[in-house]
Amino acid sequence: MMSLNNNSIRVGSHAPDFTATAVYEQEFKEIKLSSYLGKYVILLFYPLDFTFVCPTEITAFSDVYNEIQALNAEILAISVDSEYCHLAWMQMDREIGGVGELRYPLVSDLNKYISSSYNILTDEGKALRGLFIIDPNGVIQHCLINNLDVGRSVDETIRVLQAIQYVQKNPDEVCPANWHPGQATIISNPIKSKDYFSSL
């Protein structure tokens, strides 16, 4: 079960800032969310290291890191484990449930401050599978929260990121369902929007 706090964050609000220890390239580093202003950030919360669904997500996002970075975006993965636990997990091969060398940092939220700030901490003290896309101004543009047993889609995350970037560059247009780059958009005008609907 999960208890929502009274300060629920939402799409359109500023992402709560945080400073925490992360593991990146086998070293401990201090990570501050606000230092990423000017880039899109994918915050990838997950329950625990050394579990079952988690390594499939963590490695899947690492495998497409170059594609995400080409979209002016970075990834920060966060769980309530310590940095030492993160390091041990990264030193395990994928073939035995580890994550190996990753292209982005694993952030430690041992005191559960970040998970609480983003309102995804369960009563048992784990983070739900929360995914937040934050724009270069630090504003949350997308939020997806899965329960513990269901993994997320890397492809859909990239698609949503591309759609967010498109409408921010083209404020008179909106992206319809299942939109991908290169496909038709809708002019957000009662008359001009009919051009899209008449083409269906």
Catalytic residues: 54
DSSP the chain: -----TT---TTSBPPP-EEEEEETTEEEEEEGGGGTTSEEEEEE-S-SSSSHHHHHHHHHHHTHHHHHTTTEEEEEEESS-HHHHHHHHTS-GGGT---S-SSPEEE-TT-HHHHHTT-B-TTS-B-EEEEEE-TTSBEEEEEEE-TT-PPPHHHHHHHHHHHHHHHH-TTEE--TT--TTS--EESSTTTTHHHHTT-
